[in-house]
């Protein structure tokens, strides 16, 4: 077990909603790390299953704090989980920690996970956000998920340097937060790292509970991220082709324009939005190899 002067102080907050099947393996994998966290806060987000009963096992553990919730709301990707995360942060003074982690409850971490993050944060003082790679089980093998590029730390396993987290004023309670945070960091010259060989078991399929409205939600996200029309069309077409649902292209584009009409709040300011668009277009041109 590594716990010396080079060990950063890790705070872990886990929002949990109906995770009775997975939450125990998640917490146990974090308690058995080679580098121990200073605190693990589990926020039960009004679960209707036996999540709280499972969590009772940890009620007297010195590293674990359980925060039950009486706030009842519709399950929404983005807003609900971030609000639960924020409630967990209210229990502590974040300046007492070096690294703030938002972890999903359906993950199982390798024993060297925090130690690997610790090494990356120590090596690069401008590293503001770091994480491993989510993997899913297929035919008895755990293989990396390919939902996003390797320049993006998945929302399920974000680890922020405290000073970087404060520099972007924390997280926005709106779907798209896990892209906005990264571009806000990049805009402020913070680095982002995905550790490709650090695989985390993701026990539950991504987005399973809201797949029917996926394209409409993505259109809303693109608006929040200040995409322009061309960028929306490119992104919507890519999503539609990947899902083999071409009608999704039109749903996504319509939702984007409808979000503008409804004046849905932006996730980023104008300068940050311009920075994001430039970054995206450069990535597209690089793939085309002009």
Q: With respect to residue 1, please indicate whether it lies within any of the assigned structural domains.
A: no
Let me know whether 106 and 184 are in one domain.
Answer: yes
Q: With respect to residue 58, please indicate whether it lies within any of the assigned structural domains.
A: yes
pLDDT score at 138: 86
Query: 176 and 78 in contact (C-beta within 8 Å)?
Result: yes
Q: With respect to residue 108, please indicate whether it lies within any of the assigned structural domains.
A: yes
Compute the CA torsion angle 211, 138, 28, 16 (nearest 10 deg): 0
pLDDT score at 205: 65
40 DSSP assignment? E
Q: Tens of pLDDT along 116-134? A: 999 999 999 999 999 999 9
Domain harbouring 30, CATH code: 3.90.550.10
Q: With respect to residue 5, please indicate whether it lies within any of the assigned structural domains.
A: no
Q: With respect to residue 4, please indicate whether it lies within any of the assigned structural domains.
A: no
Let me know whether 124 and 267 are in one domain.
Answer: no
Let me know whether 99 and 225 are in one domain.
Answer: no
Tell me which residue range forms the domain holding 164. 10-202
pLDDT score at 147: 67
DSSP letters along the chain, please? ---STTPPPEEEEEEESS-TTTHHHHHHHHHT-SS--SEEEEEE-S-SSSHHHHHGGGTT-TTEEEE---------TTHHHHHHHHHHHTTS-GGG-SEEEEE-TTEE--TTHHHHHHHHHHH-TTEEEEEEEEEEEETTEEEE--SS-TTS--TTEEEEEHHHHHHTTS--SSTTHHHHHHHHHHHTT-EEEEEEEEEEEE-S-TTGGGGGGHHHHHHHHHHHTT--HHHHHHHHHHHHHHHT-THHHHHHHHHHHHHHHTTPPPSS-HHHHHHHHHHHHHHHHHHHT-
Q: How remote is the C-alpha of 283 from its chain's centroid? A: 22
- Token pair for 38: 């200073």
Let me know whether 76 and 186 are in one domain.
Answer: yes
Let me know whether 175 and 62 are in one domain.
Answer: yes
Q: With respect to residue 2, please indicate whether it lies within any of the assigned structural domains.
A: no
Rounded to 5°, the CA angle 65-96-25 comes to 35
- Domain termination residue (choose one: 173, 202, 231): 202
Let me know whether 136 and 159 are in one domain.
Answer: yes
Q: With respect to residue 149, please indicate whether it lies within any of the assigned structural domains.
A: yes
pLDDT score at 288: 83
Let me know whether 165 and 216 are in one domain.
Answer: no
pLDDT score at 8: 97
Q: Which of 252, 183, 244 is nearest to 218 (CA)?
A: 252
Rounded to 5°, the CA angle 143-147-150 comes to 80
- How many structural domains are present in the chain? 2
Let me know whether 44 and 174 are in one domain.
Answer: yes
Let me know whether 125 and 173 are in one domain.
Answer: yes
Give phi and psi for 30, each to the nearest 5.
-80, -30
Per-residue pLDDT tens, the chain, 290 aa: give them.
455 568 999 999 999 999 999 999 999 999 999 999 999 999 999 899 999 999 999 999 999 999 987 665 555 556 789 999 999 999 999 999 999 999 999 999 999 999 999 999 999 999 999 999 999 888 888 888 876 677 899 999 999 999 999 999 999 999 999 999 999 999 999 999 999 999 999 988 655 444 678 999 999 999 999 999 999 999 999 999 988 899 999 999 999 999 999 999 999 999 999 999 999 999 999 888 65
Please count the residues of the chain. Answer: 290
CB atoms near residue 272 (< 10 Å): 20
Let me know whether 182 and 238 are in one domain.
Answer: no
């Amino acid at each position: 077990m590594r716990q010396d002067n080079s060990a950063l102080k890790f705070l872990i907050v886990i929002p949990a909603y109906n995770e009775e099947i997975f939450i125990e393996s998640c917490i146990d994998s974090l308690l058995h790390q080679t580098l121990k966290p200073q605190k693990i806060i589990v926020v039960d987000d009004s679960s209707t299953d036996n999540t709280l009963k499972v969590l009772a096992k940890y009620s007297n553990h010195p590293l674990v704090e359980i925060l039950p919730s009486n706030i009842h709301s519709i399950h929404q990707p983005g807003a609900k989980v971030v609000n639960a995360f924020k409630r967990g942060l209210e229990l502590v003074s974040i300046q007492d920690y070096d690294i703030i982690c938002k972890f999903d409850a359906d993950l199982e971490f390798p024993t060297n996970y925090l130690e690997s993050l610790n090494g990356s944060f120590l090596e690069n003082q401008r590293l503001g956000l770091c994480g491993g790679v989510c993997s899913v089980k297929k035919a008895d093998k755990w293989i990396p998920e390919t939902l996003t590029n390797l320049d993006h730390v998945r929302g399920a396993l974000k680890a922020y340097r405290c000073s970087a987290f404060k520099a972007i004023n924390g997280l926005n309670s709106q779907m798209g937060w896990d892209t906005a945070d990264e571009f806000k960091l990049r805009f402020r010259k913070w680095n982002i790292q995905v550790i490709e060989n650090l695989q985390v078991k993701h026990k539950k399929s991504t987005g399973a509970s809201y797949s029917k409205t996926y394209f409409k939600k993505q259109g809303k996200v693109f608006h929040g991220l200040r995409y322009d029309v061309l960028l929306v069309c490119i992104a919507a077409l890519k999503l539609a082709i990947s899902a083999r649902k071409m009608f999704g292209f039109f749903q996504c584009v319509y939702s984007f324009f409808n979000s503008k009409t409804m004046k849905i709040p932006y996730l980023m300011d104008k300068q940050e939005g311009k920075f994001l668009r430039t970054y995206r277009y450069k990535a597209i041109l690089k793939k085309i190899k002009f």
